[in-house]
Structure 1
Amino acid sequence: MPEGHTLHRIAGLHDARFSGAAVRVSSPQGRFAEGAALVDGQVLERAEAVGKHLLHHYASGLTVHVHLGLYGKFSESGLPMGEPIGQVRMRMVGGATDFGTDLRGPTACEVLLPPEVDALVARLGADPLRADADHERAGARIRRSRRAIGALLMDQAVIAGVGNVYRAEVLFRHGISPFRPGTSITASEWDALWADLVDLMPIGVATGRMHVVRPEHDSGAPSYAKDRPRTYVYRRQGQPCRMCATPVAHQVMEGRNLFWCPTCQPR
């Protein structure tokens, strides 16, 4: 599933290309036909992301909410666009520049009224990529919970936008075991984790890639995939830790794969 930086990157692209002008919205697949008709021809005022949720705000007060889920993807192209290929849930064309985009396979693509948008945002935790994020509230919630910090960082009601890669890597970077309960995380530890996410995630927005390994460690064993930057522990189970050579461990935590170094992140 795309992490929050991907949605913020898409939001920035759509805001630059489509906002400030009327856009044509359709649903070649048909599943979003009623929603598309509600916003077709309206002015897109702005696009933004909150965690893993993309919001297109229209001048009428309506908002199109998109959650990509596991399989959702936008594809961008110049105009004229060709005939839709595959199951295109939503097509947007026009705006301030001559671009179009097709959305395929999202978990959610729906039109929301303002109170529904407010309710959606209220359900989400602090987003490290937003200036209005309340990281102290998130920290207080973590310190009240006996759930493992590895699970809390993935809970979108606590921290919005952090996924499996950032979860594994930021905990490694701070030597924190993913199994420690939230009640054991000190305020200074949380402040340091949050500050690191605030530094790391904008790099993902700018480059489209999650760079998490410090320059002095960015050598040696290749990444888990040839087209991805190196990681410390993510998807490196059984391989030697870049810092201490202990084999990287793996198990499933609350339905998601978890990676950590038993030596660098002692319980």
Structure 2
Amino acid sequence: MPEGHTLHRLARRHQERFAGAVVRVSSPQGRFADGAALVDGQVLTRSEAHGKHLLHHYESGAVVHVHLGLYGKFYDSELPMGEPIGQVRMRMVGAGSGFGTDLRGPSACEVLTPPEVDALAERLGADPLRPDADPDRPLRRIARSRRSIGALLMDQSVIAGVGNVYRAEVLFRHGISPYREGAALGAEQWQAIWADLVELMPVGVATGRMHVVRPEHDHGEPSYAPDRPRTYVYRRQGAACRVCGATVAHAVMEGRNLFWCPGCQSG
């Protein structure tokens, strides 16, 4: 599933290409036809992201909410666009910008009212990529939780936008076991984790890649995939830790793959 930087990157691109002008919105697949009719021909005033949620704000007050889920993706093209390929849930065309985009396979594509958008924001945790984020809000929940910090970092109601890669890597970077209880973390350690996310995640927005390995460790065994930067532990189970040489471990935590170094993250 895309992590938060992907949605913020999309929001930025849609802001640049479509905001401030009339857009034509349709649903070639038909599943979003009623929602598309509510915003078609309106000015898109603003595009933003909160965690893994993308929000398109229109002049009428209507907001198109998209959650990509596991399979959703936007496919951009210059105008004129060809016939839709596959099951296109939503097509946006910005005649003034010369671009259009097709959305396929999202888990959610719906029109929300402003109160519903506010309710969505209340359900989501603080997003390290948003300037209005309050890091003390997740800390209050973490400090009284018996759940592991590895699980809490993936809970979108605690911290919005962090996924499996950032979870694994930020815990490694701070030498914290993913199994440590939230209540045992400590405010200073949380503040250090938050500051690291605030520094790392914008790099993902800017480049489209999650760069998490410090320069002094960015060598040796290549990444888990040809088009990805190196990681410390993510998808490196059975390999030697880049720092201490211990064998990187793997387990399943609350239904998600977990990676860590027993040597560097023994606490």
Do both share a fold (TM > 0.5)?
Answer: yes
Residue 191 of structure 1 corresponds to 191
The equivalences for 1:206-221 within 5 A come to 206-221=206-221
The equivalences for 1:70-81 within 5 A come to 70-81=70-81
CA distance in 2, matches of 1:240, 1:114: 50
CA distance in 2, matches of 1:95, 1:171: 45
What TM-score do the two structures reach when normalised by structure 1?
A: 0.99
CA distance in 1, matches of 2:20, 2:218: 42
- Does the Cα contact within 8 Å between 1:126 and 1:134 map onto a contact in 2? yes
CA distance in 2, matches of 1:218, 1:253: 27
- Does the Cα contact within 8 Å between 1:19 and 1:96 map onto a contact in 2? no
Output one character per residue of 1:61-98: Cα deviation in whole Å (capped at 9) or x when no partner.
00000000000000111000000000000000015411
Residue 48 of structure 1 corresponds to 48
CA distance in 2, matches of 1:94, 1:181: 49
SS of residue in 2 equivalent to 1:170:
helix
1:245 matched to 2:245: yes
What TM-score do the two structures reach when normalised by structure 2?
A: 0.99
CA distance in 2, matches of 1:209, 1:123: 27
The worse-fitting range, judged by mean Cα deviation, of 102-111 and 86-95 is 86-95
Residue 227 of structure 1 corresponds to 227
Output one character per residue of 1:118-155: Cα deviation in whole Å (capped at 9) or x when no partner.
10011000000000001011111101101000000000
- Does the Cα contact within 8 Å between 1:17 and 1:95 map onto a contact in 2? no
The equivalences for 1:28-107 within 5 A come to 28-94=28-94, 96-107=96-107
SS of residue in 2 equivalent to 1:180:
coil
Amino acid at match of 2:102: D
Amino acid at match of 1:94: G
* CA RMSD in angstroms, aligned pairs only: 0.6
Any stretches of 5+ residues in structure 1 without a counterpart? none
CA distance in 2, matches of 1:62, 1:13: 20
CA distance in 2, matches of 1:137, 1:95: 42
The worse-fitting range, judged by mean Cα deviation, of 137-146 and 63-72 is 137-146
- Does the Cα contact within 8 Å between 1:213 and 1:230 map onto a contact in 2? yes
Total equivalences in the alignment: 267
Report percent identity of matched pairs: 78
Instruction: Quote how far apart the aligned CAs of 1:242 are.
Output: 0.3
CA distance in 2, matches of 1:198, 1:131: 10
Residue 200 of structure 2 corresponds to 200
CA distance in 2, matches of 1:110, 1:198: 29
- Does the Cα contact within 8 Å between 1:168 and 1:260 map onto a contact in 2? yes
Residue 142 of structure 1 corresponds to 142
Residue 8 of structure 1 corresponds to 8
The equivalences for 1:97-176 within 5 A come to 97-176=97-176
- Does the Cα contact within 8 Å between 1:20 and 1:95 map onto a contact in 2? no
SS of residue in 1 equivalent to 2:61:
coil
Q: Using a 3 Å threshold, how does the CA distance of structure 1 residues 63 and 136 change in structure 2: closer, same or farther?
A: same
Instruction: Quote how far apart the aligned CAs of 1:246 are.
Output: 0.7
Structure 1 residue ranges (4+ consecutive) displaced by more than 2 angstroms after TM superposition: none
Amino acid at match of 2:227: D
CA distance in 2, matches of 1:26, 1:195: 41
Amino acid at match of 1:151: A
Amino acid at match of 1:112: L
Amino acid at match of 1:256: R
Amino acid at match of 1:31: R
Any stretches of 5+ residues in structure 2 without a counterpart? none
